[in-house]
Structure 1
Amino acid sequence: MTDTLIAPSRGFETVEFKTRTEALQAHMAEQNIDVVFFTTEPEFRYFSGFRSQFWESPTRPWFLVIPVSGKPIAVVPEIGAAGLRQTWIEDVRSWPSPRPEDDGISLLADTLSSCAKGSGRIGAMMGPETHLRMPAANFALLQEELSQHFWVDVSLIIRGLRSVKSEAETAKIRFACEVTAAGFDFLLEHLQLGMTEREACKAMHLEMLRLGADACPYLISASGQGGYDNIIMGPTDRKLGSGDVLIIDTGANFDGYFSDFDRNYAFGQVDALTVDAYDAVYNSTEAGLRIAAPGRTTGEVWQAMWSVLEKSGALGNDVGRMGHGLGMQLTEWPSNVPNGDVELQAGMILTLEPGMTYAPGKMMVHEDNILITENGCELLHKRAWRNLPIIG
């Protein structure tokens, strides 16, 4: 049992938020954008440091406004004003929410208008893998009130900034990964024939919390004779029997940052085809680890991993990608996809997630988390078991 994991400090120094904001403002100046605003929790937190479980409620909208120069401005419901004043944000503007007839829209419009005195260009997150956390009618009203201004998508800027992690961010992700790896080891010692998927996941969940995870909001499993046919649905009350393969894929969270990787377990008598599939995805990950480095592309990483799977007799890969960015969200940009053209940079944190269909209705998936370094990459946790572990 592991008791020695040491968690990094919580939160960030003010200079971290200042650096992030100034990096965004440099891009804004280059693209002649006067002001941007954010409505979603990761972006709001990234630039402000504001963390609250109140985001779980859909009732109230939250807005963070960043002008091309100066500090961010919070436009938030009155219930959150005191919390914002505990961050580095000084200008906090509020209204009594919920107020459906005008839930902060006029206040937000006034704030944006006062900041957009140059080009009149206002930025918002409107690209792939983003959304506006406000009613569509309210966004339409905001556009109407600011009809003399021009709207610009800044999602490309933001995903570029967020994809390269600071040392403090990396420390939090590394700890989340170490907790998860220890949870998988704990489960290896405690799995038994006859347990259910749900019992296995609950045991691991409790262990990760004991080791220091704040939460484990993503913990799924799948099992089946000789393999599994999906990786997004469980856990279920299905009992694990001889010949079964169990996958658990989980993301522990520490101080707002995620891990995301999986492990496979076999039970009793397992056929050679299943063992070979495990070896294939393990070796595929090795190929990814060898090639992942600054200057390489996500497409090259994908190709290196797929070449191993293809030579091993893979019938296909229906997931659509073999890994992705990781950080404040369980999955972030970029994705490891065929012909992907995103160039890796030192400081990026990614998952390597080779998977294949190796027989009709049978999948094998493997996932690890890596940090791109100056000269290559580094695993953020202990490597998966070289051989498929067999229980019982």
Structure 2
Amino acid sequence: MPLSPLNPPARGFAQSEFELRTYELQKQMRGKQLDAVFFTTEAEFRYFSGFKSQFWESPTRPWFLVVPTEGKPIAVVPEIGVSGFELTWITDVRSWPSPRPEDDGISLLATTLHEVSARFRRIGAMLGPETHLRMPANNFASLQNLLLHHSWEDVSDIIQIIRSVKSKAEIEKIRFSCNIAAEAFDYLRQHLSVGITERQACKAMHLEMLRLGADSCPYLISGSGPAGYDSIIMGPTDRVLTEGDVLIIDTGANFDGYFCDFDRNYAFVSAAKETVDAYEAVYAATEAGLGAAEPGRTTGEVWQAMWSVLEKAGALGNDVGRMGHGLGMQLTEWPSFIPKGDVVLKPGMVLTLEPGMAFAPNRMMVHEDNIVITENGCELLHPRTWDKLPVIG
């Protein structure tokens, strides 16, 4: 049963979870003859260390985590953050007085990497698609010069695979976030009215999610228009909602560092037949996705199951470019549901199903729900959306 928003799961993780995550990475590292991997981005840093801080919002100071092939990760961090590691399982914390633009931790990081990479002189970093290095390009060049006899390997595929399968504790945090948003969507259904703006609707939902237990709601967007909307990434705006409009709200509430990501649609006073038909087609496509999402199936097969329904319903296209993705510590994670996608689904993967269709020129309809792959299929992490387009007023 879904957790009540009044009864959140425990925060944080047992040390054994970080040990297991690190063990899985080190096993892959040894297979690829990598001496060490270093991370610069918040999600990977937190995933292997347990260090959770809002200080990542500041671009001033860099943070580094080094994972050797044996033993615990090593933190190479600004002095201002050292005390925060008393709350983690990390015991080797090395620091410098940042900000120091002339050498903001680079020489200390190079020394640490050199210390743990004497065997193969091969170092891994996040260099692939859907990743980035959170450090200036010239700092990375300086690091490479300081480790001139080392080679650099992309480990983004390894990390994406490891992180894609969630633990029970991770799933419960995501489930809680999902149920907060689901209750807030129901709340909004009772409190929307003609004459309010997109921004007012989103603010009402934002406040309700915080009241229900969300730590934050950094992603809360909307789109609206007569009989449908033409964008799902730009709002909310101050556009006033009037009779015949359709409003979509897409949210990513966060609890203890884990996101939900799904949307709901509302019509005002009346709904055009083509809008109702599009809603029902996308609902049916989600049903097809729920039926196809099971261990052993590929992301491409799930995409095809959803697209076949939309195509039969007369879809003019899909402007979103994919129909779902991974979910967890980040609002969108690997993999994506795309045509001919070859990622095999595994139990423990948390994903979104996001079928969408252009049903008329400049008019879209999108649904999004959150699921976890189980041993025998998949499970919704929140109540299913309404089978009929709700009409407000």
- Whether TM-score is above 0.5 comes out as yes
The match for 1:98 is 99
RMSD of equivalent CA atoms: 0.9
Superposition pairs for residues 263-278 of structure 1, below 5 Å?
263-278=264-279
Structure 2, unaligned runs of 5 or more: none
Contact kept, 8 Å, 2:300 with 2:342, in 1: the verdict is yes
C-alpha distance in 2 between matches for 1:58 and 1:4? 33
Q: How does 1:129-140 map to 2 (within 5 A)?
A: 129-140=130-141
Q: TM-score, normalised by structure 1?
A: 0.99
Q: Output aligned runs, 1:50-129, within 5 Å.
A: 50-129=51-130
- 2:5–2:179 CA contact under 8 A, matched in 1: no
Q: What amino acid is the match of 2:62? A: P
Instruction: Decide whether the 8 Å contact of 2:5 with 2:213 is kept in 1.
Output: no
2:149 maps to: 148
CA distance in 2, matches of 1:5, 1:195: 29
AA aligned opposite 2:175: R
How far apart, CA to CA, are the structure 2 residues paired with 1:56 and 1:3? Answer: 30
What are the superposed Cα offsets for residues 145-195 of structure 1, whole Å, 9 maximum, x if unpaired? 101011110001000000000000000000000000000000001001111
Show the 5 A alignment for 1:324-339. Answer: 324-339=325-340
Q: How many residues align?
A: 391
Would the aligned equivalents of 2:4 and 2:176 in 1 still touch at CA under 8 Å? Answer: no
Partner residue in 2 for 1:386: 387
Structure 1 CA distance for aligned equivalents of residues 369 and 4 of structure 2: 23
- Matched with 2:318 is 317
Deviation at 1:268, TM superposition (A): 1.1
For residue 10 of structure 2, give the secondary structure of its aligned residue in structure 1: coil
Amino acid at match of 2:359: Y
8 Å CA contact 1:36, 1:65 repeated in 2:
yes
8 Å contact 1:63–1:108 — kept in the other structure? yes
Amino acid paired to 1:382? P
Structure 1 segments unaligned to the other structure (5+ residues): none
Seen in structure 2, the aligned counterparts of structure 1 residues 334 and 3 have a Cα distance that, compared at 3 Å, is closer
Deviation string 1:274-304 (CA, Å, 9 cap, x unpaired) is 0000000000000000010000000000000
SS at 2:158's partner residue?
A: helix
Give the Cα–Cα distance (whole angstroms) in 2 for the partners of residues 3 and 123 of structure 1. Answer: 41
Aligned to 1:17: 18
Distance in 1 separating the partners of 2:250 and 2:123 = 39
> Is 1:286 the equivalent of 2:311?
no
| Deviation by residue 1:185-222 (Cα, 9 ceiling, x = unmatched) | 00001001111111110001100000000000000000
Find the counterpart in structure 1 of residue 378 from structure 2. 377
> 2:363 matched to which residue of 1?
362
**Cα displacement (A) at 1:4:** 5.5
CA distance in 2, matches of 1:55, 1:39: 11
Q: Deviations over 1:353-388 (max 9, x none)?
A: 000000001000000000000000000000000000
Residue 52 of structure 2: SS of its match in structure 1?
A: coil
Q: Does 1:47 align with 2:48?
A: yes
CA distance in 1, matches of 2:275, 2:7: 37
Alpha-carbon separation, structure 1, partners of 2:34 and 2:178:
38
Q: Secondary structure at the match of 2:87?
A: coil
**Per-residue displacement from partner, 1:30-62 (whole Å, max 9, x unpaired)?**
111000000000000000000000000000000
Give the C-alpha shift of residue 3 in structure 1: 7.8
CA contact (8 A) 2:323 2:355 kept: yes
